Structure formats: C-alpha cells, structure tokens
Amino acid sequence: MSDAIRTSKELVVDPYSIPLDGNFNVAQSHLFEQNAHWAYFERLRKEAPVHFCEESEFGPYWSITRFEDIMQVDTNHKVFSSEGGITLGDQDEDFTLPMFIAMDPPKHDDQRKVVSPVVAPINLVKLESTIRARAANLLDALPVGEEIDWVDRISIELTTQMLATLFDFPFEQRRKLTRWSDVATANLEQGIIESEDQRREELIECLTTFTEIFKERQQTPGDNDLITMLAHGETTKDMLERPMEFLGNLILLIVGGNDTTRNSISGGILALNQHPDEYQKLRENPGLIASMVPEIIRWQTPLAHMRRRALEDTVIGGKTIKKGDKVVMWYVSGNRDESAIETPDKFIIDRAKPRQHLSFGFGIHRCMGNRLAEMQLRIVWEEILKRFDTVEVVGAPAYIRSPFVKGYAHLPVVLHKK
Amino acid sequence: MTTVTFVQFSGETKTVDGDNGDSVMKIALDNLVPGIDADCGGECSCATCHVLIESEWMSRVGTADDQENAMLDLNPDREPNSRLSCQIAVTDELNGLVVNLPEFQY
C-alpha cells in the first residue's frame, strides 16, 4: 500500500524563511500530518490575513485566517456560495454527490429541514441514557495499566455506536459506517483507498445497503431514526429516484457525525495531557465539563476549513476577491486568533465565553449536530471522570494527513484507576 | 432605561433593566438570565438567542429581516412569534417588553 512505503516524512519548511507571495501554500497535507501548520497560519494572520495562493494541488484559492473575516464570509451566503463543494478539493466530476451542505437556498433549506429534527434537543434527551449506557460499557471493558489506542478503542467505537443508533443501522455491522466515512473523506495518499474506482465501488455499496433500509422504513416506519425521516419527509420521500442525492446526504450525515466527534474525543485527552493544571482543575471540579466541552471543540477544531466560491467581486479585509474564486475559511486559524480569543493557544476549561468559536461554522450552514456532539462529549467525560484518575498519553499522537479532517489516526494511552 | 421580562420555559420570570439601544440578547447576558446561549455574540448567525415574543408586543417589536429569517428557519421549533433576541434593540417604546424562552436553543 502506498501508505506503508511512505516512510520518510516530507521536510517542513519554516514559514518565516520563505516569501509571503502567491506561492505561500498552507493547504499541504504533510503540514497537518506533522502538526506543523500552526506557524503558517500565525504568519498569515499577522501579515496577510486575506491571502491568495496562486498555485496548489487544489488550484488557486484565497485563505481567510482571522476570526472576524471568517465570520463575514460564513454569514454571507448570497455572495459566498456552497454549490459545488465545501472543501478545498473539487468532487470527482464523474461521481458528484449532491448534499445539502453543498447547496445554496432554497434547496439547502428544504433538505436540511427534513433531517434536522432528528438531532433536535428534545430528541437528544431521549437518546441520553442510551449513549451513557454505551459509553459506560465501553469504558468498563478497557484494560487498566496497559497501553491502548484511545482512537480505536474509544473515539471511533463510541461515535460509530452513536451513528448506528441515529440511523437505526444493524448494530453488529456498525463498523461499515466508519469505513464509509473514512472512504468518503480519504485522499489517495492516505492509503485508505487505492483509487477513485475503489471509492466509488465502496460508496455504491453504502448506497445499496441504505436503499434497502429506506425501502423497509417506507413500509414499516422506525421510531425516530434518520432514514425513517427521509423516507417520509415531504421533500425527500422520493429520494430513491435521485440515488446520488440520497448517497450524498447519507455521506454528509455519516461524516458529519463521525470524524468530527471522534477527533474531539481524542483531542480532549491530548489537550488535558498537555495542560496538566487544567486536568487537575477538572478532577477537583467535574462541574467544569460544561465549559470544557466547547473549549475542546475550539481547541481541536476537527474540521480545519470550509470552502466557498464567490458569486461576485467582493472585498474582504481590503482585498478584492473575484467572482468565481475559491475562498477557504480556515476555522483552525480563526480559533487561534488572539484578536478574538484571549491566549488562544492555551486550553482553558473555564473560559468566559467558551461557545464563541468557529468550529461549528456560522450562518445557514452552521453545524446541525452541534448539540448532539456536545452531549456526546459531556457524557463521555462524565463517565471517564467517574472511573479514571488519569488517561495518560504515553506516546506521540499520529495526526491525520489532511488539510480538512483535523484529527488523530492513533493516540497511545494508559489508563490509571481512580 | 427599559425593563424586559424574561419568562423561562418552566414559567419562572425575571424582570431586568437595560439601556436603550442594547439588544434583548445583551440584556439577558448582562443580567445572567439563563436560556440564551448567544454563541455568535450577536451577529445574527447562530440562532441560539431564540425568544418567543409575548403576543401583545408583536407589533411594536416588528418582524425579522431576511438574514434573521434565514437563521430562524434552521429551527424546527420556529413559531410565528419567534425572533432572535440579538436583533431586537430596546427603546422607550419597548419598555416593559415580555419575551418567552424556548425549551431549548439549537
């Protein structure tokens, strides 16, 4: 596999040693894999907060790196369109998956409205005891005092169980959901898939599986699951006639509920290990979990960016963005912008306004599952604190090789009992 | 000075003072009224300061503009008297305003 033979790491160039011109490119996967992107963004924020990169593997694009400028782009959906894709890379032209995150109003609004009630707070209340019981089971089964991979044992397993619950997906086959999520977002150099053909093949299998479930739920509606909602929603009940749209929305829900929460669960462990004083504060006052959860989501920023395309010439931060240009909002940078957030590089579990971060985006595309994500993190931390004095990180984390999904492939830990 | 009464979903009420020109959202936050999250800080872009205007105040408070409508539309619990409290600036005319808080913010 390409991943296996990629043994030498690419050299990371000091961002202050190169000219800040049109070749300055922060969208390089290896920077994220080596956790070396921070200084690039710091320089951009200070010296060129709205910056045009003329050439990259994704073509030319603008980087927006300050909190306020990102807010301005994110809230102006009339000028900054989501049609055609919301990540740096364009979709495979022969295999385009329409999904509402990558649509503009009114279609976006119609489709989002159908599925958003499933993650409405009133429904989350019903899910809480299930999530807690599953988290407790997982944590109780973990070996104490020996090295384990937190990512695989907890972060992936817990989010996958949650997804299976939301879809009412066959529980014993739940790791298929993880696989489809990984396949959908992987770039070829990660080694998760060998080719675009393989990606298509596996995603078609996802479509086939869910088509069967959809047909079942048309006949026999489930209690409150996402597929039942799609199968009976006014604007989505005929979605099987538009299979690519069905698949697109499935992938959106699978990826949206998977990578992001997974990497925030891992990120919280790493953040507390890097800030032992905060870990001590938490042990002494578990009530701080409420403000720690949004702080984890800010500190981790599990999606590094969202992309838009300008529908007309417009000025942001004094720079003229031309109609048709790609515009990348680097949430990962805005969340570390000291003009908006005090001592942003520090992880502080009792910040004054912890929910004022960019990780969920703002405006009409704001994360639909934000409350679900927060609830999952809250429960997992409540259950961790009941059982373990410390979840100790015992080795270097392996970071994901992507400028989009910002997270961890592995995180070695040892558990210490309370 | 204008007073605003916040009615919690539980029925509990709290009446507080605000300065003219301040938003209902800011008045709630300044007075530690629970139930308003205000994630975006008052930019009409997160819809977590949702309130339901008491009917007799509807005409004086007025209606949402396009941007606010777009954000309110994200909320499956939207009602005809739904507004985002960051978009309502208090004036003498709104002295005594009563707003109800929803069970949840999204």
What pLDDT is stored for residue A8 in this prediction? 52
Token reading at A236: 């989505």
Helices within B7-101 (DSSP H only):
24-30, 58-61, 66-72
- Count of residues making up chain A: 418
A367, amino acid identity: C
Nearest CB to A355; choose among B39, B67, B74:
B39
Q: Where are the domains of chain B?
A: 2-100
What is the mean predicted confidence (pLDDT) over B16-35? Answer: 95
Nearest CB to A362; choose among B37, B38, B43:
B43
Chain B contact for A75, CB < 8 A? yes
Q: Could you tell me the CATH number of the domain that includes residue A269? A: 1.10.630.10
Query: How far off is chain A from B38, nearest CA to CA, in Å?
Result: 8
Is B76 in Cβ contact with A113 (below 8 Å)? yes
Token reading at B27: 């008045």
Is A105 in Cβ contact with B44 (below 8 Å)? no
**Count: domains in chain A:** 1
Chain A contact for B32, CB < 8 A? no
Across B22-47, b (16+ Cβ under 10 Å) vs e yields bbbbbbbbeeebebbbbbbbbbbbbb
Is A75 in Cβ contact with B43 (below 8 Å)? yes
Higher pLDDT: B73 or A235? It is: B73
Q: Are A144 and A415 a contacting pair, CB within 8 Å?
A: yes
Is A109 in Cβ contact with B70 (below 8 Å)? yes
Closest CA to A299 of A241, A343, A245: A343
Q: Are B24 and B99 a contacting pair, CB within 8 Å?
A: yes
Strands B82-84 and B50-53 turn out to be antiparallel
Closest CA to A193 of A388, A2, A17: A2
Is B103 in Cβ contact with A364 (below 8 Å)? no
Neighboring chain B residues of A366 at a CB cutoff of 8 Å:
45-47, 74
Token reading at B106: 């999204």
Q: What are phi and psi of A19, to 5 degrees?
A: -70, 145
Class of residue B65 by CB neighbours under 10 A (exposed 0-12, middle 13-18, buried 19+): exposed
Closest CA to A55 of A91, A93, A28: A28
Q: Are B8 and B32 a contacting pair, CB within 8 Å?
A: no
Token reading at A83: 């049609």
Neighboring chain A residues of B43 at a CB cutoff of 8 Å:
71, 75, 362
Token reading at A178: 């993880």
The reported pTM is 0.92
- Residue B39 CA to residue B47 CA, distance in Å, equals 8
Helices within B22-86 (DSSP H only):
24-30, 58-61, 66-72
- What kind of architecture, by CATH, is found in domain B2-100? Roll (3.10)
- In chain A, which stretches have pLDDT less than 50? 1-7
Is B46 in Cβ contact with A366 (below 8 Å)? yes
Q: Are B2 and B95 a contacting pair, CB within 8 Å?
A: yes
Is B74 in Cβ contact with A112 (below 8 Å)? yes
**Residues 49-88 (B) with a CB less than 8 A from some CB of A:** 67, 70-71, 73-74, 76-77
A392 CB neighbour count, 10 Å cutoff? 16
Is B37 in Cβ contact with A366 (below 8 Å)? no
pLDDT digits (tens, 9 = 90+) for A203-228: 999 999 999 999 999 999 988 788 98
% pLDDT > 70, chain B: 100
Query: How far off is chain B from A59, nearest CA to CA, in Å?
Result: 30
Domain coverage including residue A320: 2-417
Is B103 in Cβ contact with A109 (below 8 Å)? no
Neighboring chain A residues of B67 at a CB cutoff of 8 Å:
75
What pLDDT is stored for residue A48 in this prediction? 98
Q: Are A316 and A328 a contacting pair, CB within 8 Å?
A: no
Q: What are phi and psi of A53, to 5 degrees?
A: -95, 120
Helices within A195-335 (DSSP H only):
196-219, 226-232, 243-256, 259-274, 276-284, 289-300, 331-334
Chain B contact for A363, CB < 8 A? yes
- What H or E segment, with its residue span, contains residue A39? helix A38-47
Sign of CA dihedral B48, B54, B55, B58: negative
Q: Are A81 and A364 a contacting pair, CB within 8 Å?
A: no
CA distances (Å), origin A129, targets A28, A125, A229: 42, 8, 22
Q: How many CB pairs under 8 A join A and B?
A: 56
- Biggest CA pair distance of chain B: 34
Q: Are A237 and A263 a contacting pair, CB within 8 Å?
A: no
- Both ends of chain A: CA-CA distance in Å? 42
Chain A contact for B46, CB < 8 A? yes
Is A75 in Cβ contact with B45 (below 8 Å)? yes
Chain B contact for A371, CB < 8 A? yes
Q: What are phi and psi of A79, to 5 degrees?
A: -95, -40
Sign of CA dihedral A167, A171, A175, A176: negative
Residues in contact with B19: Cβ distance below 8 Å, sequence separation at least 6, in sequence order: B1, B2, B90
- Residue A260 CA to residue A402 CA, distance in Å, equals 13
| Rg, Å, chain A Cα set | 21
CA distances (Å), origin A274, targets A264, A270, A347, A397: 15, 6, 9, 12
Instruction: Judge if the upstream peptide bond of residue A276 is cis by omega within 30 degrees of 0.
Output: no
What pLDDT is stored for residue A51 in this prediction? 98
Nearest CB to B43; choose among A71, A105, A353:
A71
